[in-house]
Structure 1
Amino acid sequence: MAQDDPAPSVSAFDQTYVNWYNLDPVQDKVQGASVNRAYKELLANKKAKKTVVVAVIDSGIDIHHEDLKGKIWTNKKEVAGNGQDDDQNGYVDDVHGWGFLGNASGENIRYETYEYVRLLRKLAPSYQKVNAISEVPVAQQPEYKTYLLAKQTYEKELAKYQQTKQNLAAFEKVLIQVQNVLADHLKTKEYTLQDVQRISSPDQNVMNARAWLLSKYSQGLTVESFLKYKEHTDTFLEKHLNLDFNPRTVIADNPESIADTKYGNSDVMGPRPTHGTPVSGLIAALRGNNLGIDGIAEDVQIMALRAVPEGDERDKDIALAIRYAVDNGANIINMSFGKSFSPQKSFVDEAVKYAESKNVLLVHAAGNEATDNDKVTHYPSRVLDNGSQIKNWIEVGASSRMLGKDFVGVFSNYGKKTVDLFAPGVDIISLAPENKYAKMDGTSFSSPVVSGVAALVWSHYPELTAAELKDVILKSATVYPKETALYPNVENETRKKAKFSDLSATGGIVNAYEALLLAEKVVKQKSAKS
């Protein structure tokens, strides 16, 4: 996800972007989710009938953020900090949820490899000397094909990041030379951009150095952003793509055994709450408190489940997190994560089937690879191994504030069959850890917009089943039959025109106002029949 450095308050941002996802396409001429209009025109004198619990399976959440006060789910059957499993649910001191990326001593995983790296590490000993599929027994051929695909993906990504590292090293060499020339001229290493702009010298070396640095700044590059990108590249090579890196030893479980559940800890914040915090903010940040942003649902509690590292999540952790959410009273599960390989998909399949059987709604981010999900599977998926589909599942792409060629997020995955609808996910301002705020892009932030709308509707119409709620949200989406946009393309190469209606099943954007109107009708029809 693209994300800027957190600023101390929302006043540091262009106010055009603050809370735009709450605005109405007709009244405000901004392609938001019509949340403010729903409160003003439909809910002004209405009390919610139910508090909805939304489980956020993510990287960790800053549950102490000022804009989430009173919005964090509490397990009332558990006594905080006594080291006991008071409610006998298998989790000690799980007061606000559970961390599936740590151990009882409080050690936590932050970084992980990608799934294809783990597959390659596991399968290479069996297949690295195989020259053709005909050498492999028929029963093992699917596994061999997985090995080849994992190897191909790994080699492509490794080459890309190694090349990037070389390019950055060459760039840094020039940057240091330029900095030294300018520091010598200015007689200080502590100079500002304005100092550089004011330089005038007969020395051509100095003027060349000035011109080079100013041209880089005009392209949006700063020394800080360069160092950040360099660190990002090193992290990929040292952690995500490193065949010898195995942080799972911290947990000491068998990640391929769903029966091995005695791990984790009650630390729901963890070392990386930078992703789960903004996701939670969009759903539940306090409305109308003159602070930060306005979340979408008022009568909502966030259950914090930490299962997504920096790198690819494990299928087992996701499956157990889903089961925890269902067993501990979650009504909606927000899943702003995904990956391209799923070796223990059966674990997740069983968990989502369980969620469906217990009337829980699953909301999932479509992904940020700018690919067609009808053609490229993005995990977790509502399509089970047996070909059947989970009915209580909504798949969400990312849209932007205004109609036009950039209406669809340049990064967003799409799919006429596999993506249900779009929701605001470009230029989103939400919470960041330590009472800060940040601006970000991603389907990761579209998904909680839909989760928030679902929680808002369900809190007023708890008579709806999860399948009916999904139906209401999809049928009430704002559709744009004549709108064209450009196909997403992360490489920013030539982007072709696309009919917005062809990029998802509904061809629409989530709309809270219309969803509440439709929910009212559906509930009245239900009660008339009963």
Structure 2
Amino acid sequence: MKIPNKNILRTSASLLLAGFTVFPALAQDDPVSSVSEFDQSYVNWHNLDPTQDKIQGTGVNRAYKELLANKKPKKTIVVAVIDSGIDINHEDLKGRIWTNKKEVAGNGQDDDQNGYVDDVHGWGFLGNAKGENIRYETYEYVRQLRRLAPTYQKVNAISEVPPAQQPEYKLYLQSKALYDQELAKYQQTRQTLATFEKVLIQVQNVLADHLKTKEYTLQDVQRITSPDQNVMNAKNWLLSKYSQGLTVEAFLKYKEHTDTFLDKHLNLDFNPRAIINDNPQSIADNKYGNNDVVGPRPTHGTPVSGLIAGLRGNNLGIDGIAEDVQIMALRAVPEGDERDKDIALAIRYAVDNGANIINMSFGKIMSPEKSFVDEAVKYAESKNVLLVHAAGNEATDNDKVTHYPSRVLNDGSQVKTWIEVGASSRMLGKDFVGVFSNYGKQTVDLFAPGVDIVSLAPENKYGKMDGTSFSSPIVSGVAALVWSHYPELTAAELKDVILKSATVYPKETALYPNLEGESRKKGRFADLSRTGGLVNAYNALVLAEKTVNQKAPKS
């Protein structure tokens, strides 16, 4: 579930002129040491109120001021964050990380006999007992192609395949089509980048020779005057690229991204799973992983956790949504597609170790071991656990294109404690819906802030980011806030409260998401989700109070 970084989107727009294509990348600006470095209108806007502040936030600040000023939470809510890893030592998460009180830290023993050694703050399903961890993975269709090609690559027609194997053959064809399409696209991109880089190096060398230094600035280039037409051509070429939004740094990120896709995500010979040495197709083969919940890539799970539980009112960083909350860290999402088995085991770990809410800011388009995840989410539902999932960032209609994991199970039934979340922005108008956000009148429940979101970054830093990945934890945070004050609610009732209390916009028009940014269709915001609304903590708390009072036995 990857979306373009805004800087990269700008770069891509200019590179399109030279034959480049827009590519997906994690939507997160370079982190900074203090939120004071951001435009302050972006900091904590997700907590503001649509009515009082005229900003399309969640009403969290209003709820604390008007509804919760003299109330103490009745229960600490544990939110399991299944993600890429979390910087559990971040200054703005102090005291907010779940601790397994039945486990003795660092003694190399499984003290609580839950099958995980030294799982003090959660578990990492992307590593081994030696402490080796997976960062990069292939995409699911690459893995399936690698598995199925030896059997089906010489088959010319489905009629040659026995009926019992035809579903598998169709999976092979689907995987191969996706692989061939993406491989061709990225090979062409790499070739175009190489051609572009040759010109860039030539230009840089000409300017360096003229300026007698390689450490020149854009302002130095702008001041160049020379009778040498070669120098002036180099100056004009570089300035024209900058005027189109291209910087050398952005170009290098673009190149690195392309290399990662070809060398890792689309590489049929790349098999990082070897360090775990398990059978991904066997849910019974589950004794693997380690207690490293930070891992090599905590850049995604850290901001997700910050939105849920970042310390409020400490004059440091951002204000998270819930106060009486603990984050259980579960590392199961690599850079690439997650494995169904890892997700299923992470969900089961969360449920068995006391999580009340599970946040899932990840997804993919193919789920070969969906039955593993189906059983896990049914188990979570049976144990009164709320599941909150990001709708995805492909700008597609989820009613038509399935994204996994999904609340719809293989048997056609649906998980009743599942909330699916799209991404919205600060202001009403044509850009209210995130240009990248998936939507769906039947499959997406509601929207939440997910554009220009400021949250935590590893190593006590902060970043500004976009994505339904960040809308989902905002809903998880609201759910945790409500449940901490009204624990009498069941998970299904809590979901009902959150959906029924959403801020609705019956007359608001919106442009349908389109990653290309052009020719977006105009439609009703109400048609993009089941509720047609935006999560609202203030309204949810009011409705929760009413719901609990109606449940209470009359004396």
Normalised by the shorter chain, which TM-score bucket?
over 0.9
SS of alignment partner, residue 434 of structure 2: coil
1:9-42: CA deviation from partner (whole Å, max 9, x where unpaired): 1111111111110011111111001110110110
Question: Counterpart amino acid of 1:164?
Answer: T
1:479-506: CA deviation from partner (whole Å, max 9, x where unpaired): 0111111111112231111210010000
Structure 2: distance between partners of 1:529 and 1:431: 46
* Structure 2 counterpart of 1:515: 540
**Where do residues 226-241 of structure 1 align in structure 2 (5 Å cutoff)?**
226-241=251-266
Residue 334 of structure 2 corresponds to residue 343 of structure 1:
no
TM-score relative to the length of structure 1: 0.99
Question: Counterpart amino acid of 1:365?
Answer: A
* Structure 2 counterpart of 1:164: 189
Residue 459 of structure 2 corresponds to residue 434 of structure 1:
yes
Structure 1: distance between partners of 2:460 and 2:238: 34
**Where do residues 371-450 of structure 1 align in structure 2 (5 Å cutoff)?**
371-450=396-475
Question: Counterpart amino acid of 1:479?
Answer: V
* Structure 2 counterpart of 1:504: 529
Structure 2: distance between partners of 1:314 and 1:151: 19
Residue 205 of structure 2 corresponds to residue 175 of structure 1:
no
Residue 44 of structure 2 corresponds to residue 19 of structure 1:
yes
SS of alignment partner, residue 53 of structure 1: strand
Question: Counterpart amino acid of 1:512?
Answer: A
Residue 330 of structure 2 corresponds to residue 331 of structure 1:
no
Structure 1: distance between partners of 2:42 and 2:461: 16
Structure 1: distance between partners of 2:524 and 2:236: 44
Residue 221 of structure 2 corresponds to residue 190 of structure 1:
no
Quote the offset at 1:199 in angstroms. Answer: 1.2
Question: Counterpart amino acid of 2:36?
Answer: S
Q: Which runs of 5+ in 2 are unaligned?
A: 1-25
1:262 corresponds, among 287, 290, 294, to 287
SS of alignment partner, residue 349 of structure 2: helix
* Structure 1 counterpart of 2:20: none
SS of alignment partner, residue 430 of structure 1: strand
* Structure 1 counterpart of 2:317: 292
- Alignment coverage as a number of residue pairs: 530
Q: Which runs of 5+ in 1 are unaligned?
A: none
Residue 269 of structure 2 corresponds to residue 215 of structure 1:
no
Residue 35 of structure 2 corresponds to residue 10 of structure 1:
yes
Question: Counterpart amino acid of 1:201?
Answer: S
Structure 2: distance between partners of 1:343 and 1:493: 34
* Structure 2 counterpart of 1:483: 508
Distance change (3 Å), C-alpha of 1:10 and 1:399 = same
Quote the offset at 1:378 in angstroms. Answer: 0.2
Structure 1: distance between partners of 2:189 and 2:510: 31
Structure 2: distance between partners of 1:254 and 1:456: 39
* Structure 2 counterpart of 1:72: 97
**Where do residues 46-61 of structure 1 align in structure 2 (5 Å cutoff)?**
46-61=71-86
* Structure 1 counterpart of 2:22: none
SS of alignment partner, residue 328 of structure 2: strand
TM-score relative to the length of structure 2: 0.95
Query: 4+ residue stretches of structure 1 with deviation over 2 A?
Result: none
SS of alignment partner, residue 301 of structure 1: strand
1:453 corresponds, among 466, 472, 478, to 478
Cα RMSD between the aligned structures? 0.8
1:317-368: CA deviation from partner (whole Å, max 9, x where unpaired): 0000000000000000000000000010000000000000000000000000
Residue 498 of structure 2 corresponds to residue 473 of structure 1:
yes
SS of alignment partner, residue 464 of structure 2: strand
Question: Counterpart amino acid of 1:304?
Answer: A
Structure 2: distance between partners of 1:401 and 1:453: 17
Residue 273 of structure 2 corresponds to residue 252 of structure 1:
no
SS of alignment partner, residue 482 of structure 2: helix
Structure 2: distance between partners of 1:498 and 1:203: 55
Structure 1: distance between partners of 2:245 and 2:67: 44
Quote the offset at 1:202 in angstroms. Answer: 2.0
Structure 1: distance between partners of 2:128 and 2:326: 26
SS of alignment partner, residue 87 of structure 2: coil
2:177 corresponds, among 152, 158, 162, to 152
Structure 2: distance between partners of 1:133 and 1:336: 37
Question: Counterpart amino acid of 1:392?
Answer: T
Structure 2: distance between partners of 1:214 and 1:428: 31
SS of alignment partner, residue 394 of structure 1: strand
SS of alignment partner, residue 482 of structure 1: coil
Structure 2: distance between partners of 1:316 and 1:295: 31
Structure 2: distance between partners of 1:215 and 1:44: 55
Residue 64 of structure 2 corresponds to residue 39 of structure 1:
yes
Structure 1: distance between partners of 2:381 and 2:81: 17
* Structure 1 counterpart of 2:167: 142
Structure 1: distance between partners of 2:515 and 2:205: 36
1:368 corresponds, among 393, 401, 404, to 393
Structure 2: distance between partners of 1:202 and 1:438: 45
Structure 2: distance between partners of 1:209 and 1:12: 34
Distance change (3 Å), C-alpha of 1:131 and 1:529 = farther
Residue 119 of structure 2 corresponds to residue 94 of structure 1:
yes
Structure 2: distance between partners of 1:330 and 1:218: 50
Identify which range, 216-225 or 123-132, moves more after superposition. 216-225
Structure 2: distance between partners of 1:170 and 1:524: 68
Quote the offset at 1:212 in angstroms. Answer: 1.4
* Structure 1 counterpart of 2:347: 322
SS of alignment partner, residue 431 of structure 1: strand
Quote the offset at 1:144 in angstroms. Answer: 1.1
Structure 2: distance between partners of 1:243 and 1:315: 19
Report the identity percentage: 87
Structure 1: distance between partners of 2:112 and 2:498: 35
Quote the offset at 1:207 in angstroms. Answer: 1.6
Quote the offset at 1:529 in angstroms. Answer: 5.6
Quote the offset at 1:528 in angstroms. Answer: 3.8
SS of alignment partner, residue 205 of structure 1: helix
1:115-148: CA deviation from partner (whole Å, max 9, x where unpaired): 0000000111111111111111111111111111
Structure 2: distance between partners of 1:488 and 1:371: 7
